[in-house]
Amino acid sequence: MKLRKRYVLPLIFTVFCIGILLSLTPAITGRPWDEIMNNSLGKLTNSQSTELEIISSSKSIKDHKFELIYQSARKRLNILNGGEDPSTAEIVEAEKIICYELRISSDKQPDLLKESNPRPFEERVIYFSSIIQNNIRMVIGNDTLPCAMVQLERNFGVAPYLSIQTAFPAVKNWKTQRHHLILKDEYFGLGDIHLENKLSGTDL
């Protein structure tokens, strides 16, 4: 599948900005993500809360847990707009990319980057902030999509997991098909990790 070149850079830039905003929010507000999201969702109507419902797929392997959380266009824009409802045009534009948060946690160490590993600390940060992008792909129907962007969220102990925002180019009928995220793990030595998610109409 090929995207038109004129769409690629604007889409990647938009997701990058959203990732930066998401990663800085806890530090700016001085509040953990759980508190921020609970307060934000509490201000929404019942119909909006349903649309922003967190849908995830998780898998535990040995001492590590991998969790896939869908980031809907409405949710991303709601955060970006400071809680204001996005317009239909904004949602249509944002849905040209498929976004998921990949959370990785360890039973041994709340701060995954400080967990014992042969790699020096600087290389651990580089791996999760850039190299891991080459090891992630999304399979939807007959389409295998490369990861267009990753954004590492450094939570500095605020949350007991490592958060990586990922983005993939949208394909035809992506809303009705199962999403398979494949992570070729080179960090923990766990091999291919498969996470699956199926969206319902209210998740969009």
Residue 67: what are its φ and ψ, rounded to 5°?
Answer: -130, 130
Closest listed residue to residue 95, CA positions, set 126, 69, 70, 67: 70
pLDDT in tens, 53-106: 445 689 999 899 999 999 999 999 999 999 899 999 999 999 999 999 999 999
Whether 40 has a pLDDT exceeding 60, the answer reads no
Spatial separation of the C-alpha atoms in residues 155 and 64, rounded to whole Å:
18
What predicted TM-score, i.e. pTM, was given to this entire model?
0.72
Closest listed residue to residue 104, CA positions, set 124, 81, 74, 128: 128
- Domain spans in the chain, listed from the N-terminal domain onward: 5-203
* Dihedral over Cα of 96, 202, 39, 67: its sign: negative
Spatial separation of the C-alpha atoms in residues 204 and 50, rounded to whole Å:
9
Q: What's the one-letter identity of residue 185?
A: D
